[in-house]
C-alpha cells in the first residue's frame, strides 16, 4: 500500500482517491458538482464529466428515493479505472436542506429543498472509519449554508490521506459500524442460511430502505467470512457499464471479461501440442477487441517429416468466444478440454503421439492439479504455476475464499441504472442491495431475496431450499449464537461489553465453523462428518469456483483443525424441540399452526372470564402452561438493525 506522500502534482498520495460532491439538478438530474482532485486529469474541479467506468457514480452517491429522508449513508463499489487495479470503495453521506436557509442561493436552485451528497472514493475498505469522518465534514459543509465554500473539502482530502496513510487493514477498525450481534438478534437462526447462500455463490438480493440499513446488513453478513472485508473484495466490481442499447444487444458476441489468465490442467496443455499459445487479454470493462500476443508456451520436439509448420495457427489455444448464459460461472475459470481440441489436431495426435517425448505422459498424472497460464508483469513470459490463483491476499488457511472473483459481484447498493447487471451474461452471480421495489418484483433475476425489515429470506428454487435446510448440528450452532447474544441483553451494565456474545466473538465462531468445514472436505472417509454440515450442500459447494480455487492449493495449517462439526452429537429431545421451533418460525404451515395455538390460548382465557372466577382459575392455569410451552417455540418479532428497543445496541 502506498504511504502518504506528495506526488508530482503536489497532491498527497494515499488511500483516498477523490472527494466528490454530487447534487440533484432540477433539469439534469444527479450530477457531479465538485471533485478534488478532478476525476479526469486536466479538468476543473467543477467539471461534470465522468470516466466511462464511473458513469453510475452520481446515482450511487445520491440514492433513489433520497428525498424521503433528511440524511442517509451509502456504501458502494466502483470498478477500477482502465480495467486495471482493484475495487474502488465509495462512502457517501447524503443530506438535504431547505433552500431558503442558504446564505448564497445560486440561480439554478429552483426547488424548496437542496439535496447533495459528499462522498469519498478510497482504495481501502474502511467503511465505518471513513463514514465517521465524513459525517462530521458533511455536517460542517451544510452548516456553511454556502456550497461554494469548498476549502473544507480540500482539507478533508489532505487530512484523510495524512491520517490514514499508514493504516493497516488488520484490527477492529475495519469492522467499525458492522455489528454481527445486531444481525443475529434480527435474523436469529437464519444468519447461517445467509452465510451458506453466499458460499454457494448464488444470486442474493438484499432489500430495505433507507440505504444505511441496507448496506449495514449486507456488509455485516460479509464480515462473518474470515478476511473477506479486508482482502476479499478487491475483484468484486469487475463489470462493464452499459453505453447504449445497441451495445448491450451486441454484448453477447463480445469477449467475456478477461482475468489475465486461463486455467487448465497439465494434460490439456500437452494434448494441445502447441509451440505457441495465443493469450487473449481484455480489460474487465474495456474494449471489445482483445490484445493478442504470441509467446512460446512449451518447447515440444516437432516431427518435421510430416511437413508441419512449427507456428501453425491451428494449434493456438483458443478460449471460448462467449460465456454461456446457462453456465453458473464463466468458462474462463476452468476451460473444458474440448475447447482446446482442434479437429485437425486430433488426427495428428492419433498418428504422432511420440511428438511429446520431451514430456512423457507418465510424468504428468491425470489427476494433477490445474496449472495456471499467467503472463509475468515485466517480462511478458508465460510461466506455469501449480494450482488456481485467486489473486487475493490469503492467510495460512486460504482465507478469504475467492467468492467475489470471476464475475461474482458485491454491490452493497445498486442504482436503478445498474439493473441490467442482474441479467448480464458476464455476471455469474452477485450479492447486491437495492431500495427500489422494481428489483424485488423481478424475482426471476435472483436466487434469493432477503427482506431485511421482516428478516425474511425468500428462496425461489425448492431444490436450493433443500440444500440450505439446516442440519441438526447447524441448528445447535445457530441456537448457541442466539442464546449467547440474547443473554444479559436487559442488563444495561453487561449489554455488549463481554467477549461471549459480542461482535468479535460471533466472527470467531463463524471462523471456527468455516475452518472445520474446509478441514472436513479433506478427510478421506468423511461422509459421516460431512452429513453434519449437509451432504447435499457440501456436494454443491464443491462445484463452486471459490472451493475449486481453495482446493487446488495446499493449506498445511488445516491439519491442526478438528474436521468435526463444532456441534456434532447424538440426537436428543432438545434437538426435536429446536427443529420444531425452527419449522414454526420459518415455514408457512408452521406459522399457521403457531397462529392457531395463540388464538386457542386467547379463546381459553376469554372463556374462563365468562364462566366465572372459580372455573376461570383453572383456565388461567391452562393458559399459563400453554403460554410457557409456546414461548419455547416462538421468538420475539425481529428488531430493527439500527433502532433496538429501549435504544440499546
Cβ atoms 382, 279 nearer than 8 A: yes
- Closest by alpha carbon to 207, among 445, 448, 442, 433? 433
Among 80-94, 165-179, 242-256, 379-393, the range scoring the smallest mean pLDDT is: 242-256
Mean pLDDT, rounded, for 384-390: 62
User: pLDDT: is 405 or 341 the higher one?
Assistant: 405
Q: Identify the band that residue 569 occupies on the pLDDT scale cut at 50, 70 and 90.
A: low
CATH code linked to domain 16-165: 3.30.450
Mention every residue, 6+ apart, whose C-beta is less than 8 A from residue 256.
320, 322, 323, 330, 331, 332, 407, 426
> Buried b vs exposed e over 179-188: b needs ≥16 C-beta within 10 Å?
bbbbbbbbbb
Give the model's pLDDT for residue 173: 85
Mean pLDDT of all residues in the chain?
A: 73
Cβ atoms 117, 19 nearer than 8 A: no
- Closest by alpha carbon to 241, among 47, 414, 75, 18? 414
Mean pLDDT, rounded, for 535-553: 95
Q: Is the pLDDT of residue 257 over 70?
A: no
Give the model's pLDDT for residue 602: 60
382 in helix, strand or coil?
Answer: strand
10 Å CB burial of residue 60 (0-12, 13-18, 19+) is: buried
Q: How far apart are CA 484 and CA 425, in angstroms?
A: 43
Q: Identify the band that residue 438 occupies on the pLDDT scale cut at 50, 70 and 90.
A: very high
Q: Identify the band that residue 594 occupies on the pLDDT scale cut at 50, 70 and 90.
A: low
Per-domain boundaries in the chain: 16-165
Q: What is the DSSP string of 536-602?
A: HHHHHHHTSHHHHHHHTS--GGGGGS--S-TT-----HHHHHHHHHHHHHHSHHHHHHHHHHHHHHH
Mention every residue, 6+ apart, whose C-beta is less than 8 A from residue 350.
none
User: pLDDT: is 587 or 179 the higher one?
Assistant: 179
User: pLDDT: is 229 or 609 the higher one?
Assistant: 229
Give the model's pLDDT for residue 217: 97
Mean pLDDT, rounded, for 575-588: 53
Residue-wise pLDDT tens digits, 460-507: 999 999 999 999 999 999 999 999 998 756 554 555 556 788 899 999
Cβ atoms 114, 102 nearer than 8 A: yes
456 in helix, strand or coil?
Answer: strand
Read off the pTM. 0.69
Amino acid at each position: 500500500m502506498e504511504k502518504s506522500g506528495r506526488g508530482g502534482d503536489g497532491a498527497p498520495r494515499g488511500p483516498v482517491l477523490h472527494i466528490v460532491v454530487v447534487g440533484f439538478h432540477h433539469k439534469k438530474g444527479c450530477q457531479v458538482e465538485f471533485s478534488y482532485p478532478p476525476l479526469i486529469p486536466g479538468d476543473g474541479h467543477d467539471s461534470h464529466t465522468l470516466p466511462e467506468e464511473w458513469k453510475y457514480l452520481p446515482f450511487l452517491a445520491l440514492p433513489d428515493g433520497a428525498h424521503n429522508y433528511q440524511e442517509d449513508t451509502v456504501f458502494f463499489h466502483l470498478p477500477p479505472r482502465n480495467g486495471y487495479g482493484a475495487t474502488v470503495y465509495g462512502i457517501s453521506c447524503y443530506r438535504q436542506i431547505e433552500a431558503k436557509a442558504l446564505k448564497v442561493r445560486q440561480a439554478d436552485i429552483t426547488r424548496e429543498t437542496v439535496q447533495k451528497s459528499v462522498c469519498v472514493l478510497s482504495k481501502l475498505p474502511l467503511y465505518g472509519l471513513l463514514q465517521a469522518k465524513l459525517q462530521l465534514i458533511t455536517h460542517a459543509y451544510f452548516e456553511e449554508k454556502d456550497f461554494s465554500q469548498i476549502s473544507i473539502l480540500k482539507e478533508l482530502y489532505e487530512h484523510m490521506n495524512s491520517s490514514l496513510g499508514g493504516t493497516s487493514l488488520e484490527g477492529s477498525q475495519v469492522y467499525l459500524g458492522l455489528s454481527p450481534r445486531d444481525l443475529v438478534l434480527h435474523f436469529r437462526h437464519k444468519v447461517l442460511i445467509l452465510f451458506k447462500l453466499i458460499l454457494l455463490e448464488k444470486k442474493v438480493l438484499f432489500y430495505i430502505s433507507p440505504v444505511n440499513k441496507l448496506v449495514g446488513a449486507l456488509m455485516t453478513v460479509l464480515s462473518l467470512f474470515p478476511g473477506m472485508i479486508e482482502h476479499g473484495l478487491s475483484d468484486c466490481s469487475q463489470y462493464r457499464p452499459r453505453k447504449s442499447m445497441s451495445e448491450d444487444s451486441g454484448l453477447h458476441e463480445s469477449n467475456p471479461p478477461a482475468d489475465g489468465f486461463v486455467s487448465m490442467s497439465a494434460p490439456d496443455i500437452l494434448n494441445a501440442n502447441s509451440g505457441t499459445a495465443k493469450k487473449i487479454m481484455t480489460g474487465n470493462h474495456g474494449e471489445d477487441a482483445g490484445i493478442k500476443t504470441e509467446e512460446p508456451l512449451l518447447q515440444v520436439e516437432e516431427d518435421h517429416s510430416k511437413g508441419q509448420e512449427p507456428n501453425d495457427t491451428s494449434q493456438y489455444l483458443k478460449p471460448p468466444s462467449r460465456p454461456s448464459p446457462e453456465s453458473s460461472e464463466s468458462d474462463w475459470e476452468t476451460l473444458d478440454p474440448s475447447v482446446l481440441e482442434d479437429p485437425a489436431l486430433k488426427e495428428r495426435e492419433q498418428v504422432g503421439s511420440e511428438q511429446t517425448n520431451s514430456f512423457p505422459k507418465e510424468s504428468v498424472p491425470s489427476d494433477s492439479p490445474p496449472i495456471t497460464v499467467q503472463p509475468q508483469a515485466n517480462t511478458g513470459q508465460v510461466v506455469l504455476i501449480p494450482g488456481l490463483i485467486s489473486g487475493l491476499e490469503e492467510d495460512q488457511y486460504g482465507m478469504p475464499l475467492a467468492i467475489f472473483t470471476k464475475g461474482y459481484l458485491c454491490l452493497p447498493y445498486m442504482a436503478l441504472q445498474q439493473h441490467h447487471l442482474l441479467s448480464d451474461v458476464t455476471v455469474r452471480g452477485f450479492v447486491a442491495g437495492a431500495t427500489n421495489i422494481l428489483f424485488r418484483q423481478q424475482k426471476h433475476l435472483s436466487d434469493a431475496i432477503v427482506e431485511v425489515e421482516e428478516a425474511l429470506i425468500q428462496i425461489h428454487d425448492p431444490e436450493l431450499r433443500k440444500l440450505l435446510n439446516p442440519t441438526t448440528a447447524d441448528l445447535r450452532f445457530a441456537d448457541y449464537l442466539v442464546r449467547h447474544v440474547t443473554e444479559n441483553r436487559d442488563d444495561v451494565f453487561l449489554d455488549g461489553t463481554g467477549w461471549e456474545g459480542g461482535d468479535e466473538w460471533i466472527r470467531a465462531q463463524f471462523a471456527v465453523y468455516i475452518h472445520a468445514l474446509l478441514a472436513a472436505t479433506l478427510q478421506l472417509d468423511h461422509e459421516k462428518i460431512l452429513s453434519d454440515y449437509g451432504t447435499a450442500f457440501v456436494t454443491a459447494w464443491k462445484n463452486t469456483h471459490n472451493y475449486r480455487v481453495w482446493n487446488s492449493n495446499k493449506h498445511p495449517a488445516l491439519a491442526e483443525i478438528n474436521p468435526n462439526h463444532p456441534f456434532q452429537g447424538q440426537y436428543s429431545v432438545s434437538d426435536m424441540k429446536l427443529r420444531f421451533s425452527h419449522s414454526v418460525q420459518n415455514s408457512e404451515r408452521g406459522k399457521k399452526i403457531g397462529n392457531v395455538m395463540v388464538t386457542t390460548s386467547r379463546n381459553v382465557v376469554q372463556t374462563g372470564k365468562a364462566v366465572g372466577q372459580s372455573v376461570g382459575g383453572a383456565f388461567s392455569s391452562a393458559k399459563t402452561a400453554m403460554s410457557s410451552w409456546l414461548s419455547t417455540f416462538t421468538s420475539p418479532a425481529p428488531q430493527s438493525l439500527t433502532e433496538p428497543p429501549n435504544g440499546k445496541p
